[in-house]
Amino acid sequence: MRIFLAGATGIIGRRIVPLLREAGHDVAGMTRSQANVTMLRALGAEPVVCDAFDASAVHDAVTGFAPDLVMDQLTDLPDDAARVHELGGANARIRRLGTRALLVAAAASRVERFFVQSVAWTISGDGGEAVAEMEELVLSVDGVVLRYRRFYGPGTYFPTEAPRPPCVHIDTAAIRTVALLDHASGIVTITDD
C-alpha cells in the first residue's frame, strides 16, 4: 500500500514509519520542519515538508503522492506535560483544521482509507469538543478512529513508568496501529491489554 502519514516525526509516527516499511508499504512522511527530513529518510519514508494548516499545500502533498491510505497522527502538544492544559488550544486547532485539510485532500485523491489519532479518555472544554468534531468528521467518511490510551515509554510524558490508566506503551501502540490497516470503519481503542 501507499500510505501518507501526517505527523510522521511525532512520538508515535516515528515508530509507525519503520513498521510500515518492514511490512512492505511505501510511506510519505509529513512533517512541518525541514530539520526532520534526514530523520524521515533514515526511517524509510519519503519526506514531505508541509504545514498542516496550509490546506492548499496539504492538498498538493497528498494528491502528489497518490496514497491508498491517509493516516493522521497530527498533534500539537508542548514538550512539558505541565503545560498541556495551558497550551491545549493548539492541539484542538490541529484536530479541527489539520484533520479537515487531510480529509479534503484524501477525497480529492479518491482515497478510501483514512485513519486518525484520538484519545481513549474524556477531555473537557474546547479540547473535548475538538476531539468529538474530528471523530465525527472521520466517521462520516467511513474512516477509522484510533483511540489511544495515554502513551508511556521513551520519548513520552511518562518515559519510565505507566501513568494512571488508561494507558498504552508507545511501542505497543505503534505495532497495534500497523496491524489495523485493514480494519473496517469505526472506533478502535488501542491499549496494552
pLDDT tens across 76-88, in order? 999 999 999 888 8
Domain count, the chain: 1
Residue 188 grid coordinates = 478502535
What band does 166 get if pLDDT is binned at 50, 70 and 90? Answer: confident
With 90 as the cut, is the pLDDT of residue 109 above it?
A: yes
With 90 as the cut, is the pLDDT of residue 165 above it?
A: no
Strand partners, 186: 144
* Structural domain range at position 21: 2-190
Three-state SS for 19? helix
On the 0-12 / 13-18 / 19+ scale of CB atoms within 10 A, 139 is middle
pLDDT for 185 equals 97
Question: Rounded distance, CA 123 to CA 192, Å?
Answer: 21
Angle 66-70-75 (CA atoms, 0-180°, nearest 5)?
Answer: 135
pTM over 0.95: yes
pLDDT for 180 equals 97
Amino acid letter at 3?
A: I
pLDDT for 193 equals 82
**For the domain that residue 170 is a member of, what is the CATH number?**
3.40.50.720
